[in-house]
Structure 1
Amino acid sequence: MKKSVTLSLRIGFGLSLLLLIISSVLSYTSIQKLLFNSFWVDHTGQVLQSLEKTISTMKDAETGQRGYLLTGRQEFLEPYNGSYYKALNEINKVQNLTVDNPRQQRNVKVVKSILLNRMTILKSLIDKKNGGKTVTVDDLRQGKANMDALRQAIRIMENEENRLMVLRSARLRNSASLTPALIIAAAILSFLITGFFYIRITADLSRRNHLLQDLKAQDDMTQKRIALLSNVADQIASGNYAIQFTEQERGMLGAFAFPLNKMAADLKMVFDRLSASAWMQSGIAGLNDKMVGTKNLSDLSGEVLRYCLAYTDSQAGAIYSLQGGKLHLQNSYALSNSAQQQFDLGEGLIGQSAMDGKTRLLENIDPELVTTSYILEGLNVSSMVVVPLFENRQVRGVMELLTINGFKEKQLEFLQLISHNVGIGLVGAQNRQQLKELLEELQVQTEELQLQRTEMEGINAELVGHGQQLQASEEELRVQQEELQQSNEELEERNRMINLRNAEIQQKSDEIEQSTKYKSEFMANMSHELRTPLNSILLLSRYLSENMQQNMNAEQLESAGIINQAGNGLLVLIDDLLDLSKIEAGKMELEYEQVRIEDILDHMGALFLPISREKKLEFKVETHVKNRTDLETDQVRLEQILKNLISNAIKFTNQGTVSLIVRDAANESAIEFVVTDTGIGIPSDKHGLIFEAFKQADGATNRHYGGTGLGLSISRELAKLLGGQILLESTVNKGSIFTLSVPV
């Protein structure tokens, strides 16, 4: 029986030890698997970050190229320079990270191919701009299509990584839930084994009383160990991973104490890390919800400050935005009225953090240094943190928080993570406010232009009245001359009256001539005055329509496009008025030079081929000039006439062909530029009318096709200055032929 008891003890303790070892090994394996799954979740995050950096770098390159194409300045190419190697470096990093994924490796090759093609297109457009060539809409559309393909390819890779993220997160959760289950199972088995052998040993001891004392001591020790193990298992199963054995308990358990202590410590570290990560992600998501919407700068900063105070258990704080080189207080909490409202860069902790972009933490603060600026219901703060707020790697503001409890490490890490989100939100609010101010200023300037146009119309009406008076005076003179012929007796009196009337007519004629001169000078000066604010409007509206900050909705983009289109139309009208004023005032100066006929045709083709394609018209350019390649004329004014004639032909032609033909005139001292279209045509009784200023063929045409009626009038006057003329042949619904004759 003694051997039976000894054997039972050996089997019981052996099974308990084996169970403890097995549970420890399984727990350790589960923890390793948990860490392994956590590594792959972080690995997926790195891939997504590199993909985001790749598309961001390509956006910067495209923005730089677009700025250079619009302005021609090299400084706009700064985002473009080096962007290819940055993007290629990020995509190579993705290729190295996804070497275990064949599908992503194929996707990486596709992205590389599109990336190389996109950079080639960007460089070709820049080279085209450098060479003085015109960048067409088709060139830009090709670049846009390539950029869309790049976005689509990267989106496919991101979707694949997000799918892997979901799978790996599920594995991580399974690993996290498996460890407590193993511990509970080990505890249950331990209880069962302990109970079984306790009953068996008790039965053996009852039959052998002479072994009671020895077995009792061993049984007490065994029960204490089992109870201790059970207590530890219960504590770990309930989530108390910080439990550790005392010195006395380690003496009781011996070799079992160290692995159990290590297992509890490892579990505590893993679950603390998961809890902190979940806390931060929840905080970031909540803050993003607070910043959603079109809030102004003050309201947005107030929402952000109150949320951060509540989430970090802080009692006071303030948010400053960087504007005009200074930090301005936008919102505060528990800030006294005597607190400073703005800081220079480098002034105090707030100004210094804005200058160098570093977070500063002060702990164990002297109460006398803080309570003078903040009122906390009699409580003194113990810690203060100053966090710079970033947008596009630039400091856009500073957030200051104070607490009476001190900041924990995870709270500081949370503030670092949200600094970029808050900075982007502040810049978005500032941009919305600036956009509102620009639109209001644009509306005021538009009203002023409308008022000036009304005044000019009044002046023109007054000039028409003077002309009618002159015509009436001439009619009176004619009547008087007839009366003089019929009445010889009153010849002397009539002559005196005629001389007097002629003097009055001359005076009126001089007044009309002076008024016309004043009108021309006024229109020339007013045109120059209008161009300055109008150029600002065009530049601002183009900047708004490009939406580089990606912070405008479709309605705002449409409004900016309409403003830009209207401004361009008004600029053309001002140029026409300025040319008309110069011609009427006799101030139009011509610069004669030798001009190649081929160059003129090339310019017209490059200018009007894209427009005709967009309207689905056929545009032909032909030359039939023999024994001559150039002519002496003013190229700018000649091309201005041709632009007016061709643009009118395209505007009034809905289908068919528009052509420009150069040929020898019947007079060998001139050549002819013939513009032919298959448009709506012009009635024969309107042929002379269309060459008058502010006149068009009829009201219906004016309403349907628009325009000011200045183009043909200016063209006729310019043709006269060049020593030539414009002839018209037209049939309604069959088309028109405008022939410009220019001396060589």
Structure 2
Amino acid sequence: MNVPFKLVKTETFEALQRAYQQLMASTKAATVFIKEIETGNLGATFQGESADSEGLREALLSMQLQLQKISEEEKERGWATHGMAMFAELLRSSSTSTAHFYQKIISTLVNYLEVNQGGLFLLDEQEGGSVTIELAACYAYNRQKHLKKQITPGEGLIGQCYLEKDTIYMTDIPQNYVNITSGLGTANPSCLVIVPLLLNKEVHGFLEIASFSTIKPHKVAFLERLGESIASTIANVKVNERTRRLLQDSQQQAEELRAQEEEMRQNMEELSATQENQNRLQRELIANEEELKKQLNALQEARAETEQVRQLEQERANKRIETQTKATEKLVAKFRQSEAALKAELQQLKEELNQLKAHNLQSA
């Protein structure tokens, strides 16, 4: 059957017109879709539904997915960059209390990660080389959990992380390993991350993060990056604490030394005073000895003078006796009286001499 040329031409034109309209609709839908993407609406829906727009639809949806992925990655990078800057400021801040400082770190981290619970564990190196792991701070549901916990290397997941020095990421948490407490009671978390705080391949502590929801990989990567900064800060805090303790010990030793010096100075002053007193006593003793010598010399001189007087008197007496012997017997009675008087006088002189001796002895 022969088709009229006019009819064929009309159908072709109508088909071309419909194709053109569909193309224009697809182009319009693509334009609207692209404008939505340009304004930041990466979740926009492509309205083109014709068979001819399937290739364009797939290309635009693929572009949308790539842009969504890039946007999500950019958000994650921005989130991590902001977090690192925020924690850099926090770690630079000074605090007189290390407990308050560590609590601030873990509480800020829990809130920024939007998780349910977190703990900060630090290494405690004992004398002799033994190591224990202490829970320094813990935070959950905007409140502190005042817990005391001590772990040895190799004990539990924290101890295993100490030995392996690598991040532990778990979604199948052992029963009763850790519970999250809320107003609804206690329950096991759905996700647990333990990150070692490494600095130059040396472990300084651990971050233990527990959540009811899955912790995304970019947050785990953020924890690992942040761990090095926290480890550096903890190392500095330990050095500062050690320096502060050494300074306190040095100041205490200086105070003790000053006290000892003051005590020694007082002892030296007392010794000097004692020495001065001894010198004074020695001078007084020498003076007393000199005085005694003078008194002794005076006594000896007095004795010599007395002896001379006695000898003179004896000579006089002898002369009198000799003269009286030659006298007449008439004078015997008178001589005896004179002799008696002389003896009495000698006796008195002796008594005076004895008194003088006694007086000198008493003065000595």
Tell me what 1:369 maps to.
Answer: 176
Whole-angstrom CA distance in 2 between matches of 1:336 and 1:294? 23
| Displacement after TM superposition at 1:357 (Å) | 2.2
Q: Secondary structure at the match of 1:346?
A: coil
Q: Please tell me whether residue 420 in structure 1 is matched to residue 228 in structure 2.
A: yes
From 252, 264, 271, give the equivalent of 2:52: 252
Residue 238 (structure 1) aligned with residue 50 (structure 2): no
Equivalenced residues, count: 287
CA distance in 2, matches of 1:348, 1:340: 16
> Which residue number corresponds to residue 359 of structure 1?
167
Mark the runs of 5 or more structure 1 residues left unpaired by the alignment. 1-207, 502-744
User: What CA distance in whole angstroms lies between the structure 2 residues aligned with 1:408 and 1:439?
Assistant: 45
1:114-142: CA deviation from partner (whole Å, max 9, x where unpaired): xxxxxxxxxxxxxxxxxxxxxxxxxxxxx
Q: Output the amino acid matched with 1:276.
A: E
Describe the SS at the equivalent of 1:487. Answer: helix
Q: What residue is the counterpart of 2:3 in the other structure?
A: none
Q: CA deviation at 1:404?
A: 0.9
> Residue 381 of structure 1 aligns to a residue in which SS?
coil
CA contact (8 A) 2:121 2:134 kept: yes
Matched, 1:214 2:21: no
Q: How does 1:143-182 map to 2 (within 5 A)?
A: none
**Structure-2 change in CA distance of 1:398 and 1:472 (3 Å):** farther
**Which residue number corresponds to residue 410 of structure 1?**
218
Gap change, CA 1:466 and 1:356, over 3 Å in 2: farther
Which residue number corresponds to residue 84 of structure 2? 284
Distance 2:284 2:231 in 1: 74
**CA 1:438 to 1:210, structure 2 compared with 1: closer, same or farther past 3 Å?**
closer
Partner of 2:107: 306
Q: Deviation at 1:279?
A: 1.3
Tell me, in whole angstroms, the C-alpha distance in 2 between the residues paired with 1:435 and 1:210. Answer: 95
* Offset at residue 269 of structure 1 (A): 3.9
Greater relative contact order (Cα < 8 A, sep 6+): 2
Indicate which of 116, 132, 139 corresponds to 1:326: 132
Q: Could you tell me which of 75, 78, 93 is aligned with 1:275? A: 75
Structure 1 residue 309: Cα displacement: 0.6
In structure 2, give the amino acid aligned to 1:482: K
Task: Tell me how far apart the structure 2 counterparts of residues 478 and 403 of structure 1 sit (CA, whole Å).
Answer: 103
Aligned to 1:294, the other structure's residue is in SS state coil
Cα displacement (A) at 1:311: 1.2
1:521-556 alpha-carbon deviations (Å, 9 max, x no partner):
xxxxxxxxxxxxxxxxxxxxxxxxxxxxxxxxxxxx
Q: Give CA-to-partner distance per residue, 1:210-241, whole Å, 9 cap, x none.
A: 77743453244324422442243134223345
1:336 and 1:375 in contact (8 A); partners too: no
Letter in 1 for 2:121: Y
SS at 1:369 equivalent? coil
Equivalent position SS for 1:375: strand
Q: Identify if the C-alpha distance between structure 1 residues 328 and 466 changes in structure 2 by more than 3 Å, giving closer, same or farther.
A: farther
Deviation at 1:245, TM superposition (A): 7.4
Alignment gaps of 5+ in structure 2: 1-8, 126-130, 305-356
Q: Kindly provide the amino acid, as one letter, of the partner of residue 333 in structure 1.
A: Y
Q: Which residue of 1 aligns with 2:94?
A: 294
Q: Report the Cα distance in structure 2 between the residues aligned to 1:457 and 1:384, rounded to whole angstroms.
A: 66
Aligned pair partner of 1:382 in 161, 183, 190: 190
- Give distance in 1, aligned partners of 2:303 and 2:37: 137
The answer for the alignment partner of 1:484 in structure 2 is 296
Provide the rounded CA distance (Å) in 2 between the counterparts of 1:269 and 1:316.
29
Deviations 1:371-414 (A, max 9, x none): 5x441333542111111123444211111111111101111111
Instruction: Give the direction of change, closer, same or farther, for the CA distance of 1:274–1:250 in structure 2 (3 Å limit).
Output: farther
Shift of 1:420: 1.5
Deviations 1:656-704 (A, max 9, x none): xxxxxxxxxxxxxxxxxxxxxxxxxxxxxxxxxxxxxxxxxxxxxxxxx
Aligned partners of 1:490, 1:437: CA distance in 2, in Å? 84
1:345 partner SS = coil
Which residue in the other structure is 1:431 paired with? 239
What is the deviation of 1:209?
7.5
Letter in 2 for 1:486: A
Structure ID, larger Rg:
2
Counterpart AA for 1:415: L
Q: Please say if residues 23 and 53 of structure 2, whose CA atoms lie closer than 8 Å, have aligned partners that are also in contact.
A: no
Do the aligned partners of residues 331 and 490 (structure 1) sit closer, same or farther apart at CA in structure 2, a change above 3 Å counting? farther
Q: Which aligned pairs between 1:454-603 and structure 2 lie closer than 5 A?
A: 454-460=262-268, 461-462=270-271, 463-464=274-275, 465-488=277-300
Q: Kindly state the Cα deviation for residue 360 of structure 1 after the two structures are TM-superposed.
A: 0.9
Amino-acid identity (%) = 18
Q: 1:480 to 1:458 in 2, by over 3 A?
A: farther
Residues 336-388 of structure 1: per-residue CA shift (max 9 Å, x gap):
66x5511112221112223332111111436x4355x4413335421111111
Instruction: Give CA-to-partner distance per residue, 1:443-495, whole Å, 9 cap, x none.
Output: 332332233223323333334233332333223223322332332168999xx
User: In 1, distance between residues paired with 2:50 and 2:10?
Assistant: 32
SS of structure 1 residue aligned to 2:248 = helix
Aligned to 2:237, the other structure's residue is in SS state: helix
Q: Any idea what the Cα deviations from partners look like across 1:602-643, whole Å, max 9, x if unmatched?
A: xxxxxxxxxxxxxxxxxxxxxxxxxxxxxxxxxxxxxxxxxx
Q: Could you tell me whether the CA contact under 8 Å between 2:170 and 2:192 is conserved in 1?
A: yes
User: 2:240 and 2:75 mapped to 1: Cα distance?
Assistant: 38
Counterparts of 1:57-206 in structure 2, within 5 Å, are none
Give the aligned residue type for 1:289.
Answer: E
Which amino acid in structure 1 is aligned with residue 290 of structure 2? R
Are 2:207 and 1:395 equivalent residues in the alignment?
no
Q: Distance in 2 between matches of 1:242 and 1:425?
A: 42
Structure 1 residue 255, shift from structure 2 partner:
4.8
- Give, in angstroms, the shift of residue 294 of structure 1: 2.3
Given the superposition, is the C-alpha separation of residues 451 and 475 from structure 1 closer, same or farther in structure 2, using an over 3 Å criterion? farther
8 Å CA contact 1:322, 1:328 repeated in 2: yes
Distance 1:350 1:490, change over 3 A: farther
TM-score (norm 2): 0.67
